[in-house]
Amino acid sequence: MLRGRSKGKDPRTLNIATSPYRLTRAAVLIGVMQTPQGPQPLFSEIDGHSIVLAYTDVDVARAAMPETHRLFSIVVAELLNQVPPYVGVLIDPGSASSVHVPAERRQELIDAAQPFPGGATVRLGDPAREPKSLTATLQVSAPGVAPLRRLWRTWYQVADAPAQLLVIYDVEGEVGADIMAADAVVAAARAV
């Protein structure tokens, strides 16, 4: 069972039981040490099972880090994808709102992190706040992509996770047109 305790109704509190979608999209801090085999996160154990320690508060994370480790920010879903399958994650160890993701439940959360996870309520619609700078950049750069016929944007929200911008494009049938359009959208997003 996924275990998580939450203090009150703070929307920033991570809680697996009530919001796997919000949890998997949250950023956490982990300690990373450079080794001859490459970067290694800060490991610990719970009941003999390996876990990676993660934090949501930078001051707490800094205080917990050995001098050999540096802080690294990562989204929970990416962290779950990068640690070995037999390793769990403990977020905010020792706090009243700590969240333990045992290794055997990792895949469930990885699945919840997909753009449109099965079984989740997904809302589509106009943004509450228009991404004016992105829209303006796309209007300038998109016409320069010859195979791009149309471009749409909408906001979507998975359950109670934060809303995200979704850009949809229609391209001519020539080889590589989809890649050119995707590159133009990504370049526009980076420019803002």
Sequence spans of domains, the chain: 3-112, 122-191
Higher pLDDT residue, 25 or 16? Answer: 25
Angle (CA) 106-109-111 rounded to 5° is: 110
CATH code for the structural domain at 3-112: 3.40.1350
Helix (H) or strand (E) holding 187: helix 177-191
How many residues can be counted in the chain?
Answer: 192
pLDDT for 186 beyond 60: yes
SS (H, E, C) 33-92: EEECCEEEECEEEECCEEEEEEECCHHHHHHHCCCCCEEEEEEHHHHHHHCCCCCEEEEC
For residues 88 and 159, what is the distance between their CA atoms, to the nearest angstrom?
Answer: 24
pLDDT, the chain, mean: 81
pTM: 0.72
Q: Tokens representing 92?
A: 């905010």
Question: Helix crossing, 132-141 with 177-191: angle to 10°?
Answer: 140
Q: What is the mean pLDDT of residues 48-70?
A: 94
Higher pLDDT residue, 76 or 17? Answer: 76
Of the pLDDT bands very low, low, confident and very high (cuts 50, 70, 90), residue 2 is very low
**Predicted pLDDT of residue 14:** 54
pLDDT for 7 beyond 70: no
Out of 31-45, 92-106, 115-129, pick the least confident.
115-129
Higher pLDDT residue, 167 or 82? Answer: 82
Q: Tokens representing 125?
A: 């619609």
Give me the phi and psi of 183, to 5 degrees please: -60, -40
Q: Tokens representing 67?
A: 């001098």
* pLDDT single digits (tens) 113-136: 888 888 888 888 876 666 677 767
DSSP per position, 118-139: TT--EEEE--SS--HHHHHHHH
Which of the given ranges, 13-22, 57-66, 157-166, has the highest pLDDT on average?
Answer: 57-66
Contacts of 99 (CB under 8 A, 6+ apart): 2, 3, 4, 5, 14, 15, 16, 23, 90, 91, 92
Radius of gyration of the chain (CA): 20
